[in-house]
Amino acid sequence: MPVKCGLCEKKAILKRPKTGDALCKDCFFWAFEEEVHKTIIDANLFSPGEVVAIGASGGKDSTVLAYTLKTLNERYDYKLDLILLSVDEGITGYRDDSLETVKRNQQQYELPLKIISYKELYGWTMDDIVKQVGLKNNCTFCGVFRRQALDRGAMLLKVDKIVTGHNADDIAETVIMNILRGDIARLKRCTAITTGADGALPRCKPFKYTYEKEIVMYAYFKKLDYFSTECIYSPNAYRGHARTYIKDLEAIRPSSIIDIIHSGECMAVKKEVKLPVQGTCSRCGYISSQEVCKACVLLEGLNKGLPKLGIGKPHKVKKLEAQGKIFTDTKNPKFVENRDADKGSMANNAAALDF
Ligand code: SF4
Ligand code: ZN
């Protein structure tokens, strides 16, 4: 006998990874969207009249985010102005193709689109950067530049907020990585649904509690147009291990992902641990928690033909500083951190600390 949907009388066609419920397609869509709506309302993510940029890569997470936010904005009359904001890193054979997907999404969802490129902002494409730095620290450059590029694009568009498609699996991975690195100070921030709320440009993660498997299911059953190829420069290292570990845990206990996020939220940060305070870079004027932002440090390294500046071990950075080869202070010499970038971008953070 066919299994019936747990919410209506129709035939169930899937088992929700998050709850194990058997559901029909329509009830799954409804449950998925309502959970995102509840997250938005509970965390008070938006106010009527806000202009919100959706960081759009053409991948499944940001495509489903754009579709869901548009749906909820209409269903619940959030009164948001939504804009797609894409970053072109200049990766031939990857980003050029995924941007074609974003351009189709723009037509399909009837949302404005702005594309901002590394080439126009920094004078370098990722293809150029990989030629110079190789495949070891490329994601450090890419992640730092992407983060700033999104900020710069959002400021150009005068938006009130940026939303990104980071999902529960991404956040659980970041929690595990911060624990493995002993970076407890960052735990609270990496689990926060909104960061930078006190600065000029808050960033929100409406998919904080949304499982990746359900995003894939939603995209599949809705027949959304998204790009699923991996970046050709993806190193698949450190984050990859955290990902495999969490997938193993999830197979035994599906709630592991949410449990890890809750643990990260609850872990106490010692009083004496100072969290970075958001200010602006004295060189480029964009958001930074250091006097000179990481993007400026990395860019100077590239332009001087010394691409390892800013990604080295603290004592080596100090030596270079003493030699006058770098200009930044080293209050926080681990320039490699980039908590919120794509999966690959954090993947080799550990490796990035080595010259
Ligand atoms: Fe950039 Fe992500 Fe590719 Fe690394 S994996 S080079 S961060 S797009
Ligand atoms: Zn700067």
Domain with CATH 3.40.50.620 in the chain: 36-267
Question: In this predicted structure, what is the pLDDT of residue 308?
Answer: 79
Specify the higher pLDDT residue, 87 or 346. 87
Which residue puts its alpha carbon closest to atom 1 of ligand 1? 142
Name the pLDDT band for 317 (thresholds 50, 70, 90).
low
21 CB neighbour count, 10 Å cutoff = 16
Contact call for residues 264 and 187 (beta carbons, < 8 A): yes
Comparing 295 with 237, the larger pLDDT belongs to: 295
Token readout for 40 is 């938005």
Give ligand 1 pocket residues (Cβ under 6 A).
Answer: 89, 126, 138-139, 142-143, 231, 233-234, 341-342, 344-345
- Among protein residues, the one whose CA lies closest to atom 4 of ligand 1: 139
Ligand 1 centroid–CA 232 distance in Å is 8
Q: What confidence category does residue 267 fall into, taking pLDDT thresholds of 50, 70 and 90?
A: confident
* Proximal ligand: closest to the CA of 118: 1
| 39-53, 206-220, 307-321: the lowest-pLDDT one | 307-321
Residue to probe by mutation, ligand 1, list 135, 345, 348, most atoms within 8 Å of CB? 345
Residue 44 dihedral angles phi and psi, to the nearest 5°: 55, 50
Q: What percent of the chain has pLDDT over 70?
A: 85
Q: Which ligand is nearest to the CA of 299?
A: 2
Tell me, what DSSP letter sits at residue 237?
-
- Residues 347, 328: Cα–Cα separation, whole Å: 25
Q: What is the model's pTM?
A: 0.86
Least confident of 195-199, 215-219, 255-259, 324-328: 324-328
| Ligand 1: residue whose CA is nearest its atom 2 | 344
Percent of the chain with pLDDT over 90: 63
CB 121 within 8 A of CB 6: no
User: Cα separation of 223 and 218, whole Å?
Assistant: 8
Q: What is the dihedral of CA 109, 222, 167, 287, to 10 degrees?
A: -10
**Residue 60 in 3-state DSSP?**
helix
- Output the CA 230–ligand 1 centroid distance in Å: 9
* Ordered alpha helix ranges (H), the chain: 25-42, 60-75, 95-109, 118-122, 126-133, 138-156, 168-181, 187-191, 212-221, 238-252, 256-266, 294-303, 314-322, 343-347, 349-352
For 85, the enclosing helix (H) or strand (E) is strand 81-88
Write the DSSP string, 180-231. HHT-GGGHHHHH-SEE-TTSSS-EE-TTTT--HHHHHHHHHHTT-----PPP
Do residues 53 and 163 lie in contact, with contact meaning Cβ atoms separated by under 8 Å?
Answer: yes
Residue of higher predicted confidence among 73 and 315? 73
Higher pLDDT, 270 or 148: 148
Report whether 305 belongs to an annotated binding site. Answer: no
Q: Which residues pair with 75 in a beta bridge?
A: none
Answer with the residue of higher pLDDT: 288 or 68.
68
Residue 346 has pLDDT above 50, yes or no: no
Select the more confidently predicted residue: 275 or 161.
Answer: 161
Q: What CATH class is the domain 36-267?
A: alpha beta
